[in-house]
């Protein structure tokens, strides 16, 4: 499949069948995250795979939307800001969240490529995720991904037009 078809097909899935995700499929999703580019190749992230009822229950307390607990797998994408690249010569901006987002996007696209649905989740309570996952100081949860087989086909996307998004040569 051409990449553009995969990008068109992927959409946020908020309803999952209970079928388990085979290890080889999950490993391919994680491998896609591992292969993602990062600033200076520092890879300042960790992926925590949660599949147990206890772990999923604990995460659901941080993000109680029913679809999230329905998914058989969650991946907690964490960053370690002290290990990320910072634009020190100019403004000191830390790029670890950009790196983590690229890795997460590689994972959701690999999930789609394997027939899995996924949803990015940022609206969680970070203190509860920290506690549920036992995150040490200096490691922050950035994104939760729900993963599982969709219970319904995907939807059409609503997006701004290219005219609204793209400028040429200057703002
Ligand atoms: C950084 C980020 C955070 C998001 N957080 C949530 C969230 O907390 N809950 C949710 O249901 N969807 C969340 N989404 C999914 C977006 O709502 C969704 O990607 C967007 O509406 C476009 O729809 P599509 O993914 O179906 O193409 C998030 C997406 C991104 C990229």
pLDDT confidence of residue 145: 99
pLDDT of residue 112: 98
Q: Which of 65, 112, 119 to mutate to test the pocket of ligand 1 (most atoms within 8 A of CB)?
A: 119
Pocket test for ligand 1, best of 100, 120, 147 (most atoms within 8 A of CB): 120
Residue 49: CATH number of its domain:
3.40.109.10
- Ligand 1: residues whose CB is within 6 Å? 11-12, 119-123, 157
Residue 32 lies in a domain: yes
Residue 171 lies in a domain: no
Query: Considering the domain boundaries, does residue 170 fall inside one?
Result: no
Residue 93 Cα to ligand 1 midpoint, Å, equals 24
The tally of domains found in the chain comes to 1
Q: Per the domain annotation, does 39 fall within a domain?
A: yes
Which atom of ligand 1 sits closest to the CA of residue 65?
11
**Gap from CA of 90 to ligand 1 centroid (Å):** 32
* Residue 32 contacts residue 107 (beta carbons within 8 Å): yes
Q: Is residue 50 part of a domain?
A: yes
Evaluate whether residue 126 is within a structural domain.
Answer: yes
Q: Is residue 88 part of a domain?
A: yes
pLDDT in tens, 73-106: 999 999 999 999 999 999 999 999 999 999 999 9
15 located within any domain? yes
- Give percent of the chain with pLDDT exceeding 70: 100
Q: Is the pTM of this model over 0.95?
A: yes
The mean of the pLDDT values for the chain is 98
pLDDT range class, residue 5, cuts 50, 70, 90: very high
Residues of the domain holding 23 = 3-165
Tens-place pLDDT, residues 7-55:
999 999 999 999 999 999 999 999 999 999 999 999 999 999 999 999 9
Cβ-based neighbour number of residue 144 at 10 Å: 24
Q: What percent of the chain has pLDDT over 90?
A: 98
């Amino acid at each position: 499949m051409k990449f553009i078809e995969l990008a068109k097909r992927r959409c946020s899935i908020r309803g999952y069948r209970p079928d388990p995700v085979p290890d080889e499929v999950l490993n391919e999703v994680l491998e896609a995250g591992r292969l993602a580019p990062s600033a200076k190749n520092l890879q300042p992230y960790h992926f925590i795979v949660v599949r147990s009822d206890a772990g999923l229950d604990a995460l659901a307390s941080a993000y109680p939307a029913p679809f999230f607990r329905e998914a058989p797998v969650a991946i907690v994408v964490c960053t370690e800001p002290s290990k990320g690249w910072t634009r020190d010569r100019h403004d000191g901006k830390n790029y670890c969240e950009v790196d983590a987002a690229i890795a997460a996007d590689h994972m959701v696209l690999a999930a789609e490529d394997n027939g899995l649905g996924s949803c990015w989740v940022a609206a969680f309570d970070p203190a509860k995720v920290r506690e549920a996952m036992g995150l040490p100081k200096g490691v922050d949860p950035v994104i939760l991904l729900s993963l599982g087989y969709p219970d319904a086909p995907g939807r059409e996307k609503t997006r701004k037009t290219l005219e609204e998004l793209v400028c040429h040569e200057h703002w």
